[in-house]
Amino acid sequence: MTQPTLSDLSPIFFLQTFVLELMHASEQQGQKHCEQLIEHIARTAGCFFEETYRNQSGKHQQLDRESYIELILGLKNNIGGNFSLSSCDQDVISVTNSSCPFGDRVNQFPELCGMTSSVFGGIAARNFAYAKVEIKKSIARNDGCCEVNIYTNPEIAKNQSGIEYTDTTPIKAKQDIDALHSKIEASMQQIWRKQAKPIKKHQPPAIIAKSPAMQRVLKSIEVIAPTQATVLIEGQTGVGKELIARAIHAMSERCHKPFIPINCGAIPESLIESALFGHEKGAFTGAIEDHQGYFERAEGGTLFLDEVDSLSPAAQTRLLRVIQEGELERVGGKQTLVVDLRIISATNQNLESIVKQGDFRHDLYYRINVVKLIIPPLVNRPEDLPYLVQLILQRLNKKYNKNVESVSRDVMQAIRGYHWPGNVRELENTLERNLLFAQGNEITALDLEASHPVAQSDNWKHIKERAVNEVEKTFLENALQHYQGDVKQIAANMEITPRAVYAKLKKHELNAVKFRS
Instruction: Name the segment(s) of the chain with CATH classification 1.10.8.60.
Output: 378-452
Classify residue 3 by its DSSP letter: P
Per residue in 265-287, pLDDT tens? 888 877 888 888 887 776 666 66
With beta carbons less than 8 A apart as the criterion, state whether 337 and 328 touch: yes
pLDDT of residue 15: 58
Per residue in 447-500, pLDDT tens? 875 544 433 444 455 556 666 777 788 888 888 888 888 888 888 888 788 888
Q: Give the E-state strand segments of 307-399 in sequence order.
A: 327-328, 337-338, 342-347, 371-374
Question: 456-515 has which fold?
Answer: Arc Repressor Mutant, subunit A (1.10.10)
Per residue in 88-123, pLDDT tens? 988 899 999 888 877 766 666 677 788 888 889 989
CATH of domain 6-170: 3.30.1380.20
Nearest to 430 by CA among 413, 416, 450: 450
pLDDT of residue 432: 93
> In this structure, are strands 442-443 and 406-407 parallel, antiparallel, or unpaired?
parallel
pLDDT of residue 195: 44
Report whether pLDDT(202) > 50. Answer: no
Sheet of strand 231-234, all strands in order from the earlier edge strand to the far edge:
259-263, 302-306, 342-347, 231-234, 371-374
| SS3 category, 313 | helix
Strand-pair partners of 164: 132
Nearest to 358 by CA among 190, 160, 491, 258: 491
Question: Cα-atom radius of gyration of the chain, to the nearest Å?
Answer: 27
Work out the pLDDT band at 231, boundaries 50, 70, 90: very high
Instruction: Name the segment(s) of the chain with CATH classification 1.10.10.
Output: 456-515
Question: 212-374 has which fold?
Answer: Rossmann fold (3.40.50)
The CATH number for 378-452, chosen from 3.20.20.150, 2.40.420.20, 1.10.287.3510, 1.10.8.60, is 1.10.8.60
Work out the pLDDT band at 241, boundaries 50, 70, 90: very high
Instruction: Name the segment(s) of the chain with CATH classification 3.40.50.300.
Output: 212-374
pLDDT of residue 498: 84
Per residue in 169-194, pLDDT tens? 444 556 677 788 888 888 887 776 65
With beta carbons less than 8 A apart as the criterion, state whether 354 and 360 touch: yes
Report whether pLDDT(43) > 80. Answer: no
Report whether pLDDT(29) > 60. Answer: no
Classify residue 272 by its DSSP letter: H
